[in-house]
Structure 1
């Protein structure tokens, strides 16, 4: 295991990991590395949030739309070039360092929180 600080249960509870469905994926022309601009629907409680994701190696824009992903929805907004990212879509690096999205095994309601 990498050197990581031990956290408390309270620390973990502060992180809002929720499931959302990608409703739009477009090229992010101004990104330094190839990326997409995503809109992700997290249901009525959270709404639709925007995110930038460097996932172009494994995913086309067309196959992303309709896909459920896991994201952190309570980070502060982050300016990336001319785009304001509102959530962090999660994933894992493969052997080449390219990101594979975190998703759920079966469909769940948008906005469901990891518990």
Structure 2
């Protein structure tokens, strides 16, 4: 188990629901990845690089609602600027399985 955190620590992580609206291959990434454009409603559209190619085809990701951290600093990955971090869990092979939302919620909704 990780080190215990305070409630304030948890509140500082801004996890939001967003819908993937565009997916492109990312050939310049060191590990196989996609470039995602994600609609977070009033927060706008943010980009992310995600190493999720093992379990997901591009066409299956369009319209899928995901959970992402939206308050990390931007991160340069090759020639791409990632603006949020899509969340997921590694499977038994280390391939990422996306975190999911049981029912659709408005884009931009904050996890509480």
> What's the TM-score bracket when you normalise by the shorter of the two chains?
over 0.9
How far the C-alpha of 1:5 sits from its partner, in A, is 1.3
CA distance in 1, matches of 2:9, 2:52: 28
Matching of residue 7 in structure 1 with residue 22 in structure 2 = no
SS for the counterpart of 2:38 is: strand
What's 1:68 paired with? 65
**Structure 1: unaligned runs, 5 residues or longer:** none
Unaligned runs of 5+ in 2: none
Find the partner of 1:24 among 22, 25, 42.
22
TM-score by length of 1: 0.96
Q: Distance in 1 between matches of 2:31 and 2:94?
A: 13
3-state SS, counterpart of residue 25 of structure 1 = strand
1:48 match: 45
The residue aligned with 1:35 is 33
The answer as to 2:100 corresponding to 1:103 is yes
1:16-37 CA-to-partner distances (Å, cap 9, x unmatched) read 0000000000000100110000
Give runs of ≥4 in structure 1 deviating > 6 Å: none
